[in-house]
Structure 1
Amino acid sequence: MLKDKDIREPLFTYLEERYGKVRIFEEKNIGMNSRADVFLVLEDRLVGIEIKSDADSYTRLAGQVEDYDRCFDENIVVVGSTHGAHIEQHVPMHWGILTVEQDENGRCDFYILREPQKNPNLKMTEKIRLLWRPELANIQARHDLFKYPGKSKLFVQEYLIKTLEPDLLHREISHELFERDYTKIHDTINEYRTAHGAQPRRRRKRRKRKKRTTA
């Protein structure tokens, strides 16, 4: 029986081989009540990935599907062999399905049951929330847009959505996520807040995110 921990590392290797230039994030809060197991940053889109190992059930999947669909351009569910026969009944048609099985040597083999399609339910207002305020400011600067230093993060998110063409904004979001450095972002945010008259934030312990970028 394959468990989540058995699937992840082989899955990351498979995804890097399949997509080429990619950055992989793990365990990201999304939507109202969900946490994305994995999401991929590609040059023009984000791909959400939900893992359902042989040890998992479908109890929360309906709500997870709704939240993934709010945030990501494409979505894929990765399932162990016990779910392979009936997973199509539990995810929308635009979701990709990837099955995983162990060979006789204990290695994971991945099989594409269904390719992911463009998500028709994406909410750009939810996707752009994945960026931090300094990252939004980077996009404003690159396009010589008004900085609105006294405005809220929500205001700037909506401003960028209204101002930039969707295809361009998708690429800009990917660019910022490719460049994100978790070792420096706390200082970057506090520098931005101090420069705009806000109190710096206390440093909090964060779960380590996996950074993988391959060309």
Structure 2
Amino acid sequence: MNDRDIRTALRAHLESATLSGAIIRDELGLCLGDTRVDIAVIGHTLAGFEIKSDRDRLDRLPGQIDRYSQVLDFATLVCGPRHEAKASAMLPAWWGIWVADDRDGQITFQPIRGALRNPSPDPYTVAQLLWRDEAMAALRLRGLHRGLSSATRFRLWERMADTMSIDDIQRTVHAAIMARPDWQACS
């Protein structure tokens, strides 16, 4: 059972379990592309699933935990049985853990612990999921756009982080992603 096998089964599982209208994306870039979450489910929240098959190593996991924890509302590690104990010790308590198991060619997922809501996402890093025009529109809607007509996206994200609550930023990001015409929603 390799990463591709787990990914295919996980995507099918998420598509069958996800509410209509949510978006499922493979390799969603976070932190300005510094890292990519294997599968993201975007709806009223942003949930990320990181896959570590028994063939993978866990040496990148601490950095992924740090970056995912800045952005995701919910995070779940989906791993092979070999990694369960070691990964459990590495993950923050709010992360979920599912163990992938191959039974006669059928991959199933055993939840070890459910994901809880991220207690401390970073407003600036969450805002980075917005395209420049989406950030400007969010600021304009709230009357916070004055003096920013030619500002960089970095400055717009900074203004959002300085003037908007994390809940408002998250709602804005989720709505903007859902409204992107080239991103497909589950039906």
How large is the RMSD of aligned CA atoms in angstroms?
2.2
**Using the alignment, how far apart are the partners of 1:82 and 1:67 within structure 2?**
24
**Using the alignment, how far apart are the partners of 1:212 and 1:16 within structure 2?**
12
Q: Residues 154, 13 of structure 1: CA spacing in aligned structure 2 closer, same or farther, 3 A cutoff?
A: same
What does 1:132-171 correspond to in 2, within 5 Å?
132-143=131-142, 145-146=144-145, 148-171=148-171
Retained in 1: the 8 A contact 2:43–2:174?
Answer: yes
How much has 1:66 moved relative to structure 2? 0.8
What does 1:1-215 correspond to in 2, within 5 Å?
2-21=1-20, 22-31=22-31, 33-43=34-44, 45-104=45-104, 106-143=105-142, 145-146=144-145, 148-182=148-182, 211-214=183-186
How much has 1:141 moved relative to structure 2? 4.5
Larger displacement relative to structure 2 (108-117 or 86-95): 86-95
How much has 1:9 moved relative to structure 2? 2.2
How much has 1:62 moved relative to structure 2? 1.0
**Using the alignment, how far apart are the partners of 1:46 and 1:23 within structure 2?**
10
Retained in 1: the 8 A contact 2:135–2:157?
Answer: yes
**Using the alignment, how far apart are the partners of 2:92 and 2:164 within structure 1?**
30
SS at match of 2:112: strand
How much has 1:138 moved relative to structure 2? 3.1
Give the TM-score taking structure 1 as reference length.
0.75
Unaligned runs of 5+ in 2: none
Between the aligned residues of both structures, percent identity stands at 27
Residue type of the alignment partner of 1:172: T
User: Based on CA coordinates, which of the two structures has the bigger radius of gyration?
Assistant: 1
Question: Deviation string for 1:89-128 (max 9, x for gaps)?
Answer: 1211111111111222x12111211111122341111111
SS at match of 2:79: strand
**Using the alignment, how far apart are the partners of 1:16 and 1:119 within structure 2?**
23
How much has 1:145 moved relative to structure 2? 4.5
